[in-house]
Every structure is written in C-alpha cells, then in structure tokens.
Amino acid sequence: MVIDNIYKLIEYPGALQVVNFAEGKVSIAAVNAYYGGPLIGNALSALREHMPHIETRVAAIFRHDRPIRPQGSTIIEAGDEVFFVAASQHIRAVMSELQRLEKPYKRIMIVGGGNVGAGLAHKLEKDYSVKLIEKNEERAIALAELLQDTIVFHGDASDQELLAQEHVEQIDVFIAITNDDEANIMSAMLAKRMGAKKAMVLIQRRAYVDLVQGSAIDVAISPQQATISALLGHVRKADIVSVSSLRRGVAEAIEAIAHGDEGTSKVVGRIIEDIKLPPGTLIGAIVRGDDVIIANDNMKIEQGDHVIMFLTDKKFVPEVERLFQPSPFFL
C-alpha cells in the first residue's frame, strides 16, 4: 500500500495524494493550487470553460486546514488544497489547471533499504534513475545484488559529504523511508537545503505529520493511513469496496456499491440531490459498467453502480455505510 502511494506521487509530479477507485478507472487527486495556475483567482465554474472536453468535479477545498464546500462561485486561492475527481486518464490535465505542471521526475534518491525502500526501488528502477542509501552494510550488499538498475550506497543520509558526492542537487525527488522519523525528517531537510527539488518523508508519528507537511518537506506520508484503509475495507456491513484515508487521516474517500431497488435501498432509483448525505459528504463519480460518470445533482443512482464519495470528516463514515445498506423492510 505505502509503496503504491509513493509510486503514484512520482507518476503525478506535484500531487499531494492520488487514490484510485473502481479498478483504476477513477481517481481522486489532491494538489496545492499555486500562483501562476490558470484557475487561481477564478471561480470553480471556470474549470468547465477551460476544459470543455474533460469531466471533473472538485470534491473539497481545504483552506488554512478548514474544509470549504465547493460551489460554482467558489474562487480558488493560491495555497488551497484542492481535491478533485476525474477519470484516471484525465488527472494530469486537471492538475495543469491548478498549478504549473511539473516536469516528469527522472532522478530519485531513496533513503532506507527496508521492505518499503527496496520494493519502491524495484518498482521505479526500470523507468527512473534510482540511488538508494542504506545504513546497514550487510543489507546494502544484499540490496546491491537484488536490485538490477539501482545504485546502492552504504552510508548515512545525514552525511553532507555523501550527499554532495552523489550530487543531491541534481535529484528530482528525495524520499526518506527508514523507520526512524527524526532521521527521515533531518536527512530530507538537509537534502532540500543542498538543492534536491522535492522531498517526501515517511512518518510514523501522527503528531509529526502535520508539523512538517508544507515546510521544507513537500509531502509527508503516514503508513497508518494506507494500512488503516486496507483494513477498513474488510469489516463493512454495506458493500464497501474501499475506504481511503485522505489529508493525513482527516478526510476519507469511499467506494460503495449500490444494491437493491427503490423499495429496499435509500440510494437506488433516487437522484443525488434527494439522497440524505451526511454533512460534508459529496458524491464525486459513479462507475456504471465500464463508464465513468462524473456526478451531478440530477443524476439517478442505479442498482450495481460503484459510487465514489468524498467525506471532509471521517466521523460520518458509519452514516454513509448505513445509507448503502439495503434493508429487507425499508422504513
């Protein structure tokens, strides 16, 4: 899970998070809106004019850490964290409306050769130039044999000389994923100061995640986020395909399958506007067979639809579940 999360952030330069649903057909992505993005200072309704051929829906905007309900008249400001839903192949195009698209990454430096570091290097080494720094000498030797195209170093990533020697200033993404939060944070901050373009850090401690995100560190990844989501998918009463934790565990995205008919379901046969969704919950997209339909309020939900929802507050997850639980005696 964690490896996939990081891999997606490398595939989509500039994204804070990208989560796939419905077997990869739909994605929810989060980006920071930057000065210079074509939409800054414009209302959300302008998104449609800019991209008449691409369907997307802004699911949430967080401004100074507070959720704002997106409406057509909402003006996007620089620094807003914008979550949007689109068919996966359109994610890049929508991102380019919100920020200047970053060049694809080429050079990647990974710190930490544990399971996550090794797995990530293995996944990246065919398409990217990858260097990996590992502190433990035996492990470094083993990894050098295991990984074909990754250059493995035995050393300490907070050693300025080693970073200088390995031209950290030419690195596009520096990813610190040892199991030591402090070491990850310090080496990433050092790498950024020495000229690495982006720094991503794996952080176990919840309290640290909010401290560092948006400082010199561009993306803080919390492993709990990924694993909690994986577990949640299995213990549901309604037919919930997946639950993904967003914004460092504050928000959630849910993929649920609508079952039943107008008599037994609170959602099937109803238009979105008439469904009693909990506060801060928005239906972003529906996948019907192979079709990805970006939701609007007049759309009717049918039996078997995969419904992708965004919740700005995860405490309403049980209510969404109850909504999707068909009942034999519907009251």
Strands (E), 33-168: 56-63, 66-68, 81-87, 107-111, 129-134, 151-154
Nearest to 59 by CA among 306, 246, 271, 325: 246
Angstrom distance (rounded) from CA 285 to CA 87 = 9
Of 232 and 191, more confident:
191
**So what's the pLDDT on residue 208?**
81
Q: How far apart are CA 202 and CA 195, in angstroms?
A: 20
Phi-psi region of 161 (alpha: psi -120 to 50; beta: other; left: phi over 0): alpha
Per residue in 35-92, pLDDT tens? 777 778 989 888 888 888 889 999 999 998 888 888 889 999 988 999 999 999 999 9
Q: Is the pLDDT of residue 1 over 70?
A: yes
Long-range contacts of 63-68 (CB under 8 A, 24+ apart): 67/251, 67/280, 67/312, 67/313
The pLDDT tens digits for 255-304 are: 999 998 888 899 999 999 999 999 989 999 999 999 999 999 899 999 99
What is the structure's pLDDT at 225?
A: 57
Cα–chain center distance at 104: 17
Does the structure show a pLDDT above 90 at 223? no
Chain-centre distance of CA 269, in angstroms? 31
Q: Does residue 330 register a pLDDT over 50?
A: no
What are the residues facing 176 on neighbouring strands?
111, 201
Count CB neighbours of 42 within 10 A.
16
Is residue 331's pLDDT more than 50? Answer: no
Q: Is the pLDDT of residue 247 over 80?
A: no
DSSP E strands: which ranges in the chain?
15-21, 26-32, 56-63, 66-68, 81-87, 107-111, 129-134, 151-154, 173-176, 198-202, 219-221, 240-246, 251-257, 281-288, 291-294, 306-311
Q: Angle at Cα 47 formed by Cα 44 and Cα 51, nearest 5°? A: 170
- Give residue 212's pLDDT: 79
